[in-house]
Amino acid sequence: MASETASGTPEHERVTDSGITINQVYGPDDLAGWDPATRLGDPGSFPYTRGIRPDMYRGRLWTMRQYAGFGTAEATNQRFKFLLDAGQTGLSCAFDLPTQMGYDSDHPRSEGEVGKVGVAIDSLEDMRALLAGLPLDKVTTSMTINATAAVLLLFYQLVAEENDVDPKLLGGTIQNDILKEYVARGTYIYPPRPSMRLVTDTFSYCAEHLPAWNTISISGYHIREAGSTAVQEIAFTLANGIAYVEAALAAGLAVDEFAPRLSFFWNAHNNLFEEVAKYRAARRMWAKIMKERFGAQNEKSLLLRFHTQTGGSTLTAQQPENNIVRVTVQAMAAALGGTQSLHTNGFDEALGLPTEHAAKIALRTQQIVGYESGVADTVDPLAGSWFVESLTDEVEAAAWDYLERIDGMGGAVDAIEAQYMQQEIEQAAYAYAKDIDSGHKVVVGVNKFVDEHGAPTDVFPIDAELQRSQVARVGRVRAERDQAAVDAALADVESAARGTQNVLVPMKVALSRMATLGEVSDVLRGVFGEFHPNG
């Protein structure tokens, strides 16, 4: 009898990261009774398996949107300009943990974290410095921010207005996906249900004031980074998407009023064919959900538009140059799967923030894939492959099984509160780690082909003076503002939070009067409370 791996798979079998068995060879019998018209359709047509546009990359390539954000707003602004000069076509901003958690840089809980994993943004003054000299009417900006998403969006709008840019012309995305924070990432502030209100208030606000802005990026990326399988990534993410749609409908919004501005954010891992199948299956599933479950009439409401980032958790500190190859494979998967924008990780990110050298190689990787590999020459080049179509169907079927279970629990919010998704991810992560420890899962340079004397790699330097300067800046903002005007505006935010008014309206006034991110977050803490997962 064959021995088994930690995940219970006989050693002679080949399986995907989700545990789907891979046959030695595929042929017509694997698609017996399979109707291409209903399973595939044409590119740009329901069910969008083959892509959301008829011409896909023959019309234009995906947006090359490299993630950046560290230290001060000025330092990140310089990195933005460096990447734009290198040919990047969209901006993507990371924020430090205090900003994500609703604390100003001078808060005791911010100690040691200011500017470390992203840029520190405390006030409108910081956002002005972050965006200085950038063509906000021409470039789109993605902001990886969730619990404080509304605050950062309003900062962005205020800076645009100060520069005479019509908010109706602003393009970009706020992640704003709070549910996955409870599942996988942990940068939440308020309990799930008031957090959902902030999400739907943002939907409503943007429909009126920023109609070209993507109001949410429903994120599977962090679910995958936490250890989920590919199937779990799309199932749990689509379940969260359903919850957002239901919350918006309950708030009185019409589905076709907000659904065209929903977007998604996927991970790309090393199993190229399962990743391609994942993107194709997710696109088909979302189109069916929006059409059949929610009765959307606008074609744009059916489209699963998505950004992809290569898998940070797949990068190794050992032999870090190998990560260039991993990122290339993952970028190919995203392109073959039909992504609308892409971030490729720096090869040194297992060691620290990406250096300029690593960031440029990552961008050049996208450019080589886009301009030299041929993957952009035809739409959905893997369509019709017996293997890829069979795998797409298997991924989809397994994901529907998860969605049925979550529906049976009352939906994503109830499933999260019951710790269901979290436990499923923990089990998958444990099985994956055990397979690496046993050697059944090969990670080059880690458990096979190990090199004890790898070449040294430069590490991004940390500015020891950063926190002191940022604390001084927020202190200066408070000293120079009209405190009475700030207090009055914050009182209006509190009143809106306790009532039914869209909270973003008074929030914008408060931020324009130089209220800080932490002060606005504290007002909401006072009304909504804070979320503690263990009671």
User: CA angle at residue 185 from 344 to 316, to 5 degrees?
Assistant: 45
Contact 49, 284 (CB under 8 A): yes
Looking at residue 465, what is its pLDDT? 83
Instruction: Quote the pLDDT of residue 266.
Output: 98
Residue 286 and residue 304 in contact, taking contact as beta carbons nearer than 8 Å? yes
Strands 90-94 and 216-219: what pairing?
unpaired
Question: What is residue 113's three-state secondary structure?
Answer: coil
- For residue 5, the model assigns a pLDDT of 54
- Phi/psi for 433 (5° steps) reads -65, -40
In three state form, how does the secondary structure of 393-428 look? HHHHHHHHHHHHHHHHCCCHHHHHHCCHHHHHHHHH
Neighbours of 521 (CB within 10 A): 21
DSSP 257-292: HHGGGEEEEEEE-S-HHHHHHHHHHHHHHHHHIIII
User: What is the total residue count of the chain?
Assistant: 535
Radius of gyration of the chain (CA): 23
Q: What is the pLDDT of residue 1?
A: 35
d(CA 71, CA 463): 8
Q: Which two tokens stand for residue 157?
A: 């709008």
SS3 track for 16-32: CCCCCEECCCCCHHHHC
The Cα 331–Cα 343 span in angstroms is 8
Domains of the chain: 14-57+175-337+346-438 (3.20.20.240), 69-174+450-535 (3.20.20.240)
Q: Residue 358: which of 308, 320, 330 has the closest Cα?
A: 320
Determine the pLDDT at residue 38.
Answer: 85
Q: Tens-of-pLDDT digits for all 535 residues of the chain?
A: 344 555 555 556 899 999 999 999 999 999 988 888 888 999 999 999 999 999 999 999 999 988 788 888 999 999 999 989 989 888 989 999 999 999 999 999 999 999 988 999 999 999 999 999 999 999 999 999 999 999 999 999 999 999 999 999 999 999 999 999 999 999 999 999 999 999 999 999 999 999 999 999 999 999 999 999 999 999 999 999 999 999 999 999 999 999 999 999 999 999 999 999 999 999 999 999 999 999 999 999 999 999 999 999 999 999 999 999 999 999 999 999 999 999 999 999 999 888 889 999 999 999 999 999 999 999 999 999 999 999 999 999 999 999 999 999 999 999 999 999 999 999 999 999 999 999 999 999 999 999 877 666 776 666 768 899 999 999 999 999 999 999 999 999 999 999 999 999 999 999 999 999 999 999 999 999 999 887 6
Q: How far is CA 160 from the centre of its chain?
A: 24
Nearest residue to 428 via CA among 244, 183, 68, 201:
183
Per-residue burial over 366-388, b = 16 or more CB atoms within 10 Å of its CB, e = otherwise: beebbeeeebbeebbbbbebbbb
pTM, entire model: 0.92
What per-residue confidence (pLDDT) applies to 67?
Answer: 76
Beta bridge mates, 267: 309
pLDDT value of position 71: 83
Q: Which residue has the tokens 């199937």?
A: 231
Question: Which residues sit opposite 14 in a β-bridge?
Answer: 22
Bridge partners (DSSP) of residue 211 are none
